Amino acid sequence: MREKNQRIEDPHAEREAERYEKPIPSRELILHYLGDCSGPRTHKQIARDLEVVTPEGLQALARRLKAMEREGQVIRNRREAYGPVAKMDLLPGRVTAHPDGYGFLVREDGGEDVFLNGRQMRSLLHGDRAVVRVVAKDRRGRTEGALVEVLERANQRLVGRFFSEGGVAFVAPDNKRFHQDILIPGDAASGAQHGQIVMVDIVRQPDWRRQPIGRVSEIMGNHMAPGMEIDIAIRAYDLPHTWPETV
């Protein structure tokens, strides 16, 4: 454990000085420091212990911590304190969803996939990047995890079929790995009719209490229209579908 008032030397200080006019502690130093601490540390505590004092330095440190959180190196708790993911037995990875509602975290370190039950998957969509905590082995002997934080949302737009039933409108994604329907508020249907294929922009991502909410951004046509399968594939995989006049 780090001793109080012990000065910490940055082994990568020279590299940081070459990159930045006003260098701040390197990621390696921050991770080493957090690993030696007895618990998570706030931005203020990190800045004090690593001797970051200028307003510019404090802002740069905050940006670095956010980048490290986004990339799965550190985790921030409800008290706005940071801890190293590796020390806290947390696993970052990419979510692979199953049509039946459960999923797996494909670990970034190449280790065994972590099973995520339907409750955990309520806050996630296929392709999201997340951090989970291993909690148990399920009945089938699979490592089971609990969601800690979503690092990156992979989906901003989806293709699906628009439905309006009993005053409730939603889009059922064409890709069956997207196990949640996208709710569409009454003023966000853009004139789509029941059964049509649409492109939907996700305006609010899911959480454990609520389904994702979206807005219809394009009406592609009727479900059985000729060529619709090709149009769906083009948009689902973001393939180019307009060409210069010279082509």
What is the pLDDT, as a whole number, of residue 238?
61
CATH topology of domain 13-84: Arc Repressor Mutant, subunit A (1.10.10)
Which residue shows structure tokens 């394009």? 218
Q: What's the mean pLDDT in 3-13?
A: 62
Helices and strands per DSSP (H, E), number in the chain:
6, 13
Q: Which residue has the higher pLDDT, 12 or 87?
A: 87
169 strand-pairing partners: 164, 184
What is the pLDDT, as a whole number, of residue 240?
57
Length of the chain as a residue count: 247
pLDDT above 80 (res 236): no
Q: Where are the domains of the chain?
A: 13-84, 90-152, 157-236
Q: Does this chain's domain 13-84 share its CATH topology with 90-152?
A: no
Q: Give the pLDDT confidence of 148-158 residue by residue, as tens digits.
A: 989 999 999 99
Instruction: Quote the longest CA-to-CA distance of the chain.
Output: 72
CATH of domain 157-236: 2.40.50.700
Q: What's the mean pLDDT in 126-148?
A: 90
90-152 is a CATH 2.40.50.100 domain: no
What is the pLDDT, as a whole number, of residue 1?
47
CA distance linking residue 157 with residue 202, whole number of Å = 6
Q: What's the mean pLDDT in 115-125?
A: 96
CA distance linking residue 140 with residue 70, whole number of Å = 32
Least confident range of 122-126, 136-140, 208-212, 216-220? 136-140
